[in-house]
Amino acid sequence: MTTRTLAVVSGGLSNPSSTRLLADRLTAATVEALRARGDDATVEVVELRSHARDLADNLVTGFPNGSLRTAVETVSGADALIAVTPIFSASYSGLFKTFFDVLDKDALVGKPVLMGATAGTARHSLALEHAMRPLFAYLRAVAVPTGVFAASEDWAGGSGGDRALADRIQRAAGELAALVTGLGRVGDGRAAGPVDPFADPATSFEELLRGT
């Protein structure tokens, strides 16, 4: 069994926060999806609210202090990244952006990333596509097709959230696990082996031999 390392970046400002809640659910679903593919996982969480002053100092001095350096190394060295931010004014938070600004420009090259975001209203949901996805594309990370957005109404049913949110979480986690392990198609979220294009031909070989 291979052990994969998941880095989780949570940009929530409050404690507790819906951003951390979503990050935890995405993490649990990804660990489960990896285990379904025969891999174990270790999880390392980076709470950005704990590094707010460190990040400001890094911008001014150009160097991270010890605590921030550990967080940066956690993200840079992980097999995959789950990144979740609150949405303010239709984009990721300044704290979230600052963290990725201080990373080395090659830190995320080729790294599988699952994006998540939270906000008070579903009107912010497109921020995943017009703000977060271009950010990770610029950093040359490999973002999974499904981004997971959760508005306040998604938590109305309690900590379990509604069925639609649960389905999005499950699908995105399966996509991330597929990228990390190289098993299955990224878009299906299933614990399947590599796709064989000849496994189910539209025309059987017997029909081809008969010329039908």
Q: What is the CATH number of the domain that holds 172?
A: 3.40.50.360
Q: Which residue intervals of 78-114 are DSSP H helices?
A: 94-102
The pLDDT of residue 189:
44
Tokens of 105: 């420009």
Q: Which domain holds residue 31?
A: 3-210
CB-based contacts of 46: which residues, under 8 Å, 6+ apart?
A: 7, 8, 9, 10, 71, 74, 75, 99
The pLDDT of residue 188:
46
Question: Does a cis peptide bond (omega within 30 degrees of 0) precede residue 16?
Answer: yes
**172 torsion bin: left (phi>0), alpha (psi -120 to 50), beta (else):** alpha
Strand, coil or helix: 85? strand
Distance (Å, whole) CA 179 – CA 183: 7
Pairing of strands 40-47, 80-88: unpaired
Q: Distances in Å between the alpha carbon of 67 and those of 71, 105, 152? A: 7, 20, 32
DSSP 8-state assignment for residue 49: G
Q: What is the pLDDT of residues 117-174, one digit of tens each?
A: 999 888 889 999 999 999 999 999 999 999 999 998 887 655 555 788 999 999 999 9
pTM of the full structure: 0.84
Task: Name which of 144, 161, 89, 148 is nearest 118 in CA terms.
Answer: 148
Strand, coil or helix: 12? coil
Pairing of strands 80-88, 91-92: antiparallel
pLDDT < 50 regions, the chain: 185, 187-199
Count structural domains, the chain. 1
The pLDDT of residue 204:
60
The pLDDT of residue 94:
95
**86 forms bridges with which residues in the sheet?**
118
